[in-house]
Chain A
Amino acid sequence: MSEALAGIFEELDRNPSLAAYAAAERKLRKAGLPPLRLAILANHTFEIGAVLAVECARRGFWLDLYKAGYDQYRQEMLGAASGLHPFQPDAVLVSLHLENTFPGLTTRTVTEPLPDAGEWVASFRALLTAYRETSRAAVFVQDFLPPVSDMSGLLAAAGACSVFDWVMALNEAIRRMAASIPSVFVIDAARLACESGLAGWRDARLFYLAGAGINPRVFPRLAARIARHLAALRRPPAKCLVLDLDNTLWGGILGEAGCEGILCGEGHYPANAYADFQRAVLALRSRGILLAIASKNDLAQVEKTFRRRADLPLRAEHISAWEVHWGPKPESLRRIAARLNIGLESLVFLDDNPAEIDLVKMALPQVRAYRMPARPEEFIDFLAALEDFDQLQLSAEDTRRAELYELRRKQEELAAAATDLESFYRSLKTELVPEIASGANFDRVVQLFQKTNQFNLTTRRHDRAELTRRIERGSEVWAFRAKDIHGDHGIIAAVLLDFSGAECHIDSFLMSCRVIGRTLETAILHVAEERALARGARRLTGEYVPTARNGPCRDFYSRHGFSCESQSGEGSRWAKDVASRTPCPEWITIRSEEAVLTAGSGSSSSL
């Protein structure tokens, strides 16, 4: 963030009043941040725009806003007399107010049955599905705030007539529904309101006078949460948490207290707080975040500690990279990034020592470095609040990622042992399984498109809606699964092929950095050529668009017999005759190749 912008936020945070937000919004308007187009649909008076724009600017982007008319959300989404569609939003926020959506809910008689939540969710689902078919915009649905008061009195706690419970069950149903529609996400306003005091979220005066469903005084808090979601749409989550040891993962200095003297474990403070923090770190790992250690300590003593101290929840095998020595931490971080094959901007570094944090910030501004809070009981809240790890959804690959990296490490050991490269490749017994992108693998394919940096020929960040659209227009998206003696690596690559007449064009070709250097790209190209032939193409074309990160695939086309047709600042165009086939490397077996030849649509019927 520039100094001028940082100054605006410092001033705002000293006194975060609504007037201060309005003042900040006016200044930030001219900052020239990259825009995100957001449409707000609401069935109550909900003037959060200025506050939300400021919270988005804090996260690096500006809001271009479209505000639909009061209670017009259904008409807008269905496209009738709609300003929403021409606006072409990147994201849509739907904010519905409980009493306006279910009139009379809070004043119903106790004998009256509660409304049918399932029926309402089904009709809301139909609305979102209809919109999904006409727009690629991500949709964020704010869940319902429970009422501050209802008329069931103590009976709410005693019987089945609790409006509060009903609203919570409704929210749960909305969550399940949202998860089943692509790019629809829930913003958990109800939970946020409960955290900060539900009563403060409603101002009865402003509701009855002006139809304001949410008290504007809580807009900063709600806007920060919405902006987090919007930011997560744009920014990939950090991939690795790098931790210091002494007074971060445990209490005390290992070099002084010794392996039995450091504080971490059950029963007493502060050891119990450190142990809980270690469990929280493991919870983060289960979301696909890799763990690494950067500590100034004696390596042998650290290894001994992890072996001997069975009461540390964190075990040595949970850590994907170690940098334990007396060298400077920026160097350690550089080595961790190189070792895990990820960029420095994917690292979050935590340390209790402000000098280390300052040094890292100065030497490696890309790394997101934070100082630990003063006391271990504050660590979990601190870690939970870090937005760097924000993910909008979790794929099956995420939950296995740490394990997959462990697999790769074992392979590298094997590679070191193998006498030459070819016998190493053979020893892996690699299998490549091409699958047409659909249902089961689609989440992962979309994720690869969003996240792959190094082996990515064009780095086009197609989202789910775009990929779906291309498939509908006759393009093919292929996912590639790799297996070897160490196990199943999951989907590791994806290719998007466009067809027009005698030409097959490689729009995108990307492969996870976990499997770079195993000639898998050659086997994948072999499969792409099969597809080109099956669809009647004679020429295969592609582009290389250089980025700061995709050097590893710079020579992909020249290595595979393509000739360069043109070259400019934006990249180069390549072509080859499909008749001269790229052979699949002998050490890779392609599974179900017949299926590949005959799968898909279009001209393949001629085979």
Chain B
Amino acid sequence: MKTTRERLAELFQTVLEMDSIPEDASSTTVASWDSVRHLNLIVAAEELFGINFDTEEISELTSFRAFAEAVERHLAKAGPAGRAAP
């Protein structure tokens, strides 16, 4: 079973069209991470993990690390029942 971070990294690879995602990837270091792709990352991550980011959070999720922490926070809040099937 893949970890949350591994699944998120795969999603980033697909949406940002990259072969690998460095741990410190952010919208300032990754050229393809524009405002459109940012929206795609948000929606795809919400769908993948069955969560909903808060509106304030969305504009702050500008790095892979921030994304991963937010996903983990929401999953912990939802508890095991709230988790979407892989």
**A residues adjacent to B (C-beta < 8 A):** 17-19, 22-23, 26, 45, 47, 205-206, 208-210, 212, 215-217
State the CA gap A178–B53 with chains docked (Å). 40
Q: List 21 A-B contacts (CB under 8 A).
A: A17-B44, A18-B43, A19-B10, A19-B14, A19-B15, A19-B47, A22-B15, A22-B40, A23-B14, A26-B14, A26-B17, A47-B36, A47-B39, A206-B39, A206-B42, A206-B43, A208-B55, A209-B58, A209-B59, A210-B39, A216-B39
**Is B66 close to A, CB under 8 A?**
no
A19: which of B35, B36, B44, B58 is its contact (CB, 8 Å)? Answer: B44
Q: Is the CB–CB distance between A19 and B11 below 8 Å? A: yes
Question: Which residue of B has the minimal Cβ distance to A50?
Answer: B40
By a CB distance below 8 angstroms, the chain B residues around A206 are 39, 42-43
Distance in Å: Cβ of B61 to nearest Cβ of chain A: 11
A209 adjacent to B55 (CB under 8 Å): yes
* Neighbouring B residues of A22 by C-beta, 8 Å: 14-15, 40, 44
B48 within 8 A of A: yes
B59 to chain A, nearest CB (A): 7
Q: How many positions in chain B have a CB within 8 Å of any CB in the partner chain?
A: 18
Contacts of A26 in B (CB 8 A): 14, 17
- Interchain CA distance A208-B35 in the complex, whole Å: 14
> In whole angstroms, how far apart are the Cα atoms of A569 and B29 in the complex?
56
> What A residues does B59 contact at CB under 8 A?
209
Name the A residues within 8 Å of B43 (CB-CB).
Answer: 18, 206, 215-217
| Main DSSP-derived SS at the B contact region | helix
- Give the interface of B toward A (CB within 8 A): 10-11, 14-15, 17, 35-36, 39-40, 42-44, 47-48, 53, 55, 58-59
Q: How many A-B residue pairs have CB under 8 A?
A: 45
Question: Once the chains are docked, how many angstroms separate the CA of A210 from the CA of B55?
Answer: 11
Q: Does the CB pair B40–A18 fall under 8 Å?
A: yes
CB nearest neighbor in B for A206? B39
Q: How far is the CA of A22 from the CA of B36 in the complex (A)?
A: 13
| B44 CB to nearest A CB, Å | 4
B35 touches A210 (CB 8 A): yes
Chain B residues positioned under 8 Å from A47 (CB to CB): 36, 39-40
Question: A212 and B14 in contact (CB under 8 A), knowing A17-B44, A17-B48, A217-B47?
Answer: no
- Are A205's CB and B15's CB within 8 A? no
B residues near A217, Cβ cutoff 8 Å: 43, 47
A8, chain B: closest CB distance, angstroms: 14
Contacts of A45 in B (CB 8 A): 36, 39
| Residue among B17, B44, B48 with most chain A CB within 10 A | B44
Decide: A216 near B40, CB < 8 A? Known: A19-B14, A210-B35.
Answer: yes
* B47/A18 in contact, CB under 8 A: yes
User: A212 to chain B: which residues have CB within 8 Å?
Assistant: 39
Could you tell me if A205 and B40 are in contact, using CB atoms closer than 8 angstroms? Answer: no
Nearest chain A CB to B16 CB, angstrom units: 9
CA distance A439 to B39 in the complex (A): 47
Collect the chain A residues with CB atoms within 8 Å of residue B44's CB. 17-19, 22
Chain B minimum-CB-distance residue to A23:
B14
Q: Can you name the residue of chain B whose Cβ is closest to the Cβ of A17? A: B47
Shortest beta-carbon contacts, A-B, top 5:
A19-B44, A18-B44, A216-B43, A205-B55, A23-B14
